[in-house]
Amino acid sequence: MLPAYGVVVGKFANYTTDQGQWFHVDLNINAGNVYQAAVDVNEPNGLFQYQIIDGLDISLFGPAWGMPDGWHALASNASSGAMDYARSPILQRPLGCLALIFGMWNAVTGGSVQAWTNVTGNEAGEALIAMVTGSTKLFAFGAPYTEGYGVHDVHCNQGDPPGPFQYLDGIWQDGCVFAQKTDGSLSVYMGKFSTQTLNTNNSGLPI
């Protein structure tokens, strides 16, 4: 599991890009102090996927909705306000009658009902920036920086294959960014590596 997890609540200020070992859009968030959210938008081998869901049901958001600006540590469980790509009700996009078909496919393949977009360039970063620009409030979920103000691991944190990252896997600890728009609607950005699966057990490990 991640050593710590939580959410930064505040207002979008601006952004920079970081093309280091991992490709990030660094969102600067006014939340008392200025917090940075290092949001993954690609990786060197092009094995990254993302999706943005608009028009979310705010009633399903959970306790984090009423939290004041700043950093808030969250327990990795269903009642704290933590997010889980496979388990959070707010992240399960309804697809009408097609949901039955995708649901059956999901049961067979271990995939997600939501459609993930494979990243080939900076389209995920551009989509994220478009989502947060002009927003009235941001919620950035992830692991806190060990120094300074900010969050990283703003991506899926479960379902890794055996290897150097699987020890960080767990449920109810996924990183994502929610943006409330001027019309009151709510959108979310989620990112994952294509090597990850959302068909996981109670330890966040692949089934």
CA dihedral (163, 169, 144, 156) positive or negative = positive
* pLDDT value of position 203: 98
The helix (H) or strand (E) run that includes residue 51 is strand 48-53
Cα(74)–Cα(139) distance, integer angstroms: 13
CB-based burial label for 159 (10 Å; 0-12, 13-18, 19+): buried
Could you tell me whether strands 150-154 and 137-144 are parallel, antiparallel, or unpaired per DSSP bridges? antiparallel
pLDDT in tens, the chain (207 residues): 999 999 999 999 999 998 766 799 999 999 999 999 999 999 988 899 999 999 999 999 999 999 999 999 999 999 999 999 999 999 986 544 433 443 443 433 344 446 899 999 899 999 999 999 999 999 999 999 999 999 999 999 999 999 999 999 999 999 999 999 999 999 999 999 999 999 999 999 999
Q: For residue 25, give the nearest of 193, 197, 191, 196 by alpha carbon.
A: 191
